[in-house]
Chain A
Amino acid sequence: MSALIEVEHLSRYFGKICAVNDISFKLSKGEVLGFLGVNGAGKTTTMQMLSGCLAPSQGIIKINDYNILKDPLLAKQSLGYLPDTPPLYKDLTVKEYLHYCAQIHAIPKQRINAALDTVFSRCGLTSVTNRLISHLSKGFQQRIGIAQAIVHNPDLIILDEPTIGLDPIQIIEIRALIKELGKNHGVILSTHILNEVQETCTHVQIIHQGKLIVKESIDTINKSINESSVIFKTTRPIDKQILLTIPGVQNLEVLSNNEFKINFNHSHDLTQQIAEIIIKQDWGLIEISPVKKNLETLFIASTEEPA
């Protein structure tokens, strides 16, 4: 199966300022790609280029094998896009608006009503179909924005900060929706909320100053960031030398009197081995836990300016 979207050496300049610098990636069906970055990192610019709203300065974007510059109409047929501001006609009702969206995405007339019903129930809009968009809350408006992006059932869904401005319950709902969409579609999601990526995405890319600096699947990242160090407490003093001889262990830090931290190579999980040694040496193990580094640490580490 070929990739749903293929991006090669994508760059964008605004005058002399380089907003996006040489980004390449691929995405297949069933994947949810999280695009992480601080404000102004080039996330929105990238999203705009992927959706065909902005022409790239360099590089190729192919959606379902159609180049978005050469065959924009064919490429955009399999694309749903929610920009950072949802493009809502506020003096229409929800139904009128989504009907129009379905129309401009070339859904045949006889299938529009069915498509609308599906999208209403998916995005939880059934109760507000006849309300005026301007009279609805921000949460509903955001959901209409998402509905607009998925009403024509596109293969690729691009969501630019979909949970911004929502309350925690709405965020959970939207994340669940994204996860579900990820099963049958390819989803690209930009955000600066790290949690969101960890919860919903299968792949993560961190973009910083226009460059792609991390590109991993979420499993790899979870592994590498969860298990690189371990903290333990003992009642009796320990012999550091024994622990340092374990292959893979890099160093041992003394945090307080009886609390220590061992850092080791990413490749091996040494937690169990360390625990066994401590018990065997009878140092009086009180607790041992792998350090839960989260994405944040990785994010901060990778976006830090090299001193």
Chain B
Amino acid sequence: MIIGIAAQEFKSHFKTPMAWVLLAVLQIILGYIFLTQVETFDLMQVKLASIEGAPGLTDIIVTPLFSNAAIILLLVTPLLTMRVICEERRNKTLTLLLAAPISNMQIIIGKYLGTLTLLWLIVMLIALMPLSLLMGGELDIGKYLANVLALILLVAAFTATGIFLSTIASHPTIAAMGTFGILLILWLFNISKTISDQPNELVEYLSLLNHYQNIQTGLINSADILYFFLFVATFIVLSISCLNKQRLQK
């Protein structure tokens, strides 16, 4: 049942030109960033070769690519998630799901997975690019995989936030702005690390960027991984609770 809803949600993105245009635009932007980075490395490599313990291909090309991708997906995710529940409620098509023998949990998780699959597809596209470097160089595969894992977890967190906002907002635009706002705040929490002398532990824990960067280094800490799982769980639970509430009160 969940898979059915997810598949429908995923397919519906591709029935309009929007997802395709988005894929093309993302590919051009991130491709450009990637290629610029390759060029930079190409110019630097003579100098780098003389330094012992200097950063390699992975540090100079892959990590910045994934850092930039994270910021771009922070902008894109709200656009993809804003319509998920919100638009259905406005078009009154949500009734179809509410009157069917499906629980609110199945609706939310199904919709969540549907949109998440699209974002994961985008992550895979991004992950493909550095592999082309294997033609002429060597990658730190462990670190590369850590970067991919970091981005996979990050978009999962982004999407969960987006779904939650889409459930509570009355209009898709509000949902998009809200998602963007929350994500940006959580992203920027990281600043406290560099600004204050004694960083607030709670703020530091909440920062998305902190955990993202930690995983990116290739050092996989259970706390960082669990942070993303708990993050997703929190917003999914809140969304389900909101949908329940709407059925009760209206």
A and B touch in the complex (CB under 8 A): yes
B1–chain A nearest beta-carbon distance, Å: 7
Instruction: Check A103 for interface membership: any CB of B closer than 8 A.
Output: yes
Main secondary structure of the interface of B (DSSP, over half): helix
Q: Is the CB of B12 within 8 A of A104?
A: no
Alpha-carbon distance A55/B98, docked complex (angstroms):
11
Q: B98 touches which one: A53, A101, A148 (CB < 8 A)?
A: A53
List residues of chain A with CB within 8 A of the CB of B103. 72-73
Task: List CB contacts (< 8 Å) of A183-221 with chain B.
Answer: none
Among B16, B101, B247, point to the contact of A74 (Cβ < 8 A): B101
B2 CB, nearest partner CB in chain A, Å: 10
Which residues of A65-83 have CB atoms within 8 Å of chain B's CB atoms? 72-74, 76-77, 79, 81, 83
- Asked if B92 is at the interface (CB within 8 A of a chain A CB), the reply is yes
Q: Mark A80-119, 1 if CB is under 8 A from B, else 0.
A: 0101010111111000000011011110000000000000
Asked if A104 and B97 sit within 8 Å, CB to CB, the answer is yes
B102 / chain A contacts, CB cutoff of 8 Å: 73, 104
Identity of the chain A residue whose Cβ is nearest the Cβ of B4 in the assembled complex:
A103
Give residues of chain B (205-250) contacting chain A, Cβ–Cβ below 8 Å: 247-248, 250
Q: Quick check: is A52 within 8 A (CB to CB) of the other chain?
A: yes
Within 8 A of A (CB), among B72-104: 91-103
The reply to whether the CB of B8 lies closer than 8 angstroms to some CB of chain A is: yes
**When the two chains form their complex, are residues B250 and A14 in contact, meaning their CB atoms are under 8 A apart?**
yes
Taking the complex as formed, is A54 at the interface, i.e. its CB lies under 8 A from any CB of chain B? yes
Nearest neighbor of B247 in chain A, beta-carbon distance: A55
- Compute how far the CA of A91 lies from the CA of B87 in the bound complex, rounded to whole angstroms: 13
State whether A91 and B95 are in contact (beta carbons under 8 Å apart), knowing that A73-B102, A100-B4, A100-B8 are contacts in the complex.
Answer: no
Task: Provide the bound-state CA to CA distance between A148 and B92, in Å.
Answer: 14
Residues of A within 8 A of B123 (CB): none
Cα separation A54 to B245 with both chains bound (whole Å): 10
Whether the pair B247, A76 counts as a contact (CB closer than 8 A) is: no
B5 with A104: CB separation less than 8 A: yes
Residue count of chain A within 8 Å CB distance of chain B: 28
The answer to whether the Cβ of B15 comes within 8 Å of any Cβ in the partner chain is yes
A46 interfacial contact with B, CB 8 Å: no
Contact B94 A87, beta carbon cutoff 8 Å: yes
Chain B residues lying within 8 Å of A55, measured Cβ to Cβ, are: 247-248
**Is the beta-carbon distance between B248 and A73 smaller than 8 angstroms?**
no
Q: Select the residue from B8, B91, B101 with max chain A CB neighbours within 10 A.
A: B101
Query: How far is B101's CA from A87's CA once the two chains are assembled, in angstroms?
Result: 16
Q: How far is the CB of A215 from chain B (nearest CB, A)?
A: 25
Assembly CA distance A14 to B248 (angstroms): 10
- Inter-chain contacts of B101 with A (CB < 8 A): 72-74, 76-77, 79, 105-106
Cα A303 to Cα B100 in complex, Å, equals 34
Q: Interface code B2-35, partner A: CB below 8 Å = 1, 0 otherwise?
A: 0011001000100110000000000000000000
The CA-CA distance from A106 to B101 in the complex, in Å, is 8
B92 touches A85 (CB 8 A): yes
Tell me the bound Cα distance from A144 to B203 in angstroms: 52
Q: Which residues of A contact B248 (CB under 8 A)?
A: 55
Residue-wise, chain A 245-276 has the 8 Å CB interface mask toward B (1 for contact) of: 00000000000000000000000000000000
7 shortest A-B CB distances, which residue pairs?
Answer: A87-B96, A81-B99, A76-B101, A87-B93, A103-B4, A85-B92, A53-B98
* A-B contacts besides A79-B101, A90-B91, A104-B96, 7 pairs, CB < 8 Å: A55-B248, A73-B102, A76-B100, A83-B95, A89-B12, A91-B15, A105-B101
Q: List 21 A-B contacts (CB under 8 A).
A: A51-B95, A51-B98, A53-B95, A53-B98, A72-B101, A72-B103, A73-B102, A77-B101, A79-B99, A83-B95, A83-B99, A85-B92, A87-B93, A87-B95, A91-B12, A91-B16, A103-B8, A104-B1, A104-B4, A105-B100, A148-B96
